[in-house]
Structure 1
Amino acid sequence: MYKIVAMILMPLAGLGCSTVQQHNDPSAINASDGKTIYLEVAAHTQLCPGMAQQFECLQVREVSYDQQGHKVIKNPEWHNFYNEIEGYTHRPSEQALLKLKMYEIAHPAADGSSVRYVFDQYVERKQSR
């Protein structure tokens, strides 16, 4: 019985790994195609619904800047961020505004994201209580 379950689950265990390999493949993106975006990341995370494996999602909201350079929060509601941000490590005690590069992936893996997010710099950081 255990051998049957293991034979069924083993091929599934590697599904999430293909995106990591894809991210390390420099041919997967064209650097000139990157778009700069700003995401505000909440200090708290939340369990991601509807995922085969349960994990915590970052809570984010998109930010832009107007003509005068003032921060504009497009939607004040936090939402689940299902992707990873390369080069960024979340700190549960900190809310942060991040400058990211977003790349479209030409040929994503069947189970992978079609977008790659890469940390550029912190714009703001504040300790959460």
Structure 2
Amino acid sequence: MRVHLLLLPLALAVCASTSAAGSSRATTSASATSKAVTPDAALLGGYHWHLTQATDHYGQRIDALFVRPDKPLQLDFDGNRISVRNSCNGMGGSYRIEKGQLMVGPMMHTMMACTNFPLNRLDSLIGVRLSVRPTITVTRSGDNPLLRLHTSAGDTLIFTGLPTPETRYGGPGVTEFLEVSPQTVPCNHPLMRNAQCLDVREVHYDANGLKTGTPGSWRVLSQGIEGYTHQPGVRNVLRVKRYAVQHPPADAPSEAYVLDIVVESATAGR
């Protein structure tokens, strides 16, 4: 009898400890869940959303959605429009959020046929999952928010948000067209000896997309252009966005240029 009496307090302590641990886990889970919110257009539009995880209802990774490791599927939201990048074709359509579900309208897409079958199939694989009204939540934790889509079939897609230039620089940019000379030029750079910089001049287009007016003077662009990699001997015309840099470090430029699209490209001499 004494043995049972001695074991009873120990059993009660174990039960209490287990209960406390369970309560702690429940609290932690509830706390984590409470951070997941239904996003609005402003939050969605502030990031480029890169697919980083995808599992089916068995918890198995959906490998078919990761055929381009260097260019993951990307969702972009602009007003009431959603677009898909890094698939075979560019895709886009209208969207709205109702009762926590992402409602995507018919999506238009380019008509390019990719010879790589897994890449060619990627359009339909992501298109189907966007069309079935998945639930949508965003969790703000750490430096990058996570966008979670969950379908009625049990698929879960998680996208990591990378801030857009507008988010990073705190405001809209100014659209410009820059012609980039085929050859770089020597320039002064506070951190690099014998630096080479882009030689650019501003060009202008009318509403019909035709060049108009006189190009500006050539000038050295010491800060480069985000998203643009120059190939020696190739002349490019770029549509860029110019942003004001708030509180730039000493000797750093007060403006930043981000590539939008390449308008023209030609090898020098042609």
TM-score, with structure 2 as normaliser: 0.35
1:45 is the counterpart of 2:184: yes
> Which of residues 260, 265, 269 is equivalent to 1:120?
260
What one-letter code is carried by the residue in structure 1 that aligns with 2:241? K
1:1-129 aligned at under 5 Å gives the runs 28-30=168-170, 32-48=171-187, 50-52=188-190, 53-72=193-212, 73-75=214-216, 77-129=217-269
Deviation at 1:58, TM superposition (A): 1.0
Aligned residue type for 1:42: S
Distance 2:176 2:226 in 1: 14
Aligned to 2:232, the other structure's residue is in SS state: coil
Instruction: Note the alpha carbon deviations across 1:64-120, whole angstroms, 9 max, x for none.
Output: 123554213432x42211111111000012100001011001211122111011111
Q: Report the Cα distance in structure 1 between the residues aligned to 2:208 and 2:229, rounded to whole angstroms.
A: 31
Point out where structure 2 has 5 or more consecutive residues left out of the alignment: 1-162
Show CA shifts across 1:19-63 (max 9, x none): xxxxx9x76512x42111110001111111x54532112111101
What is the Cα deviation at residue 125 of structure 1? 0.4
Greater RCO, CA 8 A, separation 6+: 1
Greater share of strand: 1
> Residue 65 of structure 1 aligns to a residue in which SS?
coil
Residues 123 and 61 of structure 1: CA distance in aligned 2, closer, same or farther (over 3 Å): same
Q: Percent identity?
A: 38
CA distance in 2: counterparts of 1:114 and 1:95, whole angstroms: 26
* Superposition misfits of 4+ residues, deviation over 6 angstroms: none
The one-letter code sitting in structure 2 at the alignment partner of 1:43 is: P
Q: CA–CA distance in 1 between the matches of 2:215 and 2:267?
A: 23
Rounded Cα–Cα distance in structure 1 between residues aligned with 2:223 and 2:178: 13
Aligned residues: 103
Kept in 2: contact 1:99–1:122 (CA 8 A): yes
What is the CA RMSD across the aligned residues, in angstroms?
Answer: 2.4
- For 1:78 and 1:110, the matched residues in 2 are separated by 25
Q: Distance in 2 between matches of 1:122 and 1:115?
A: 20
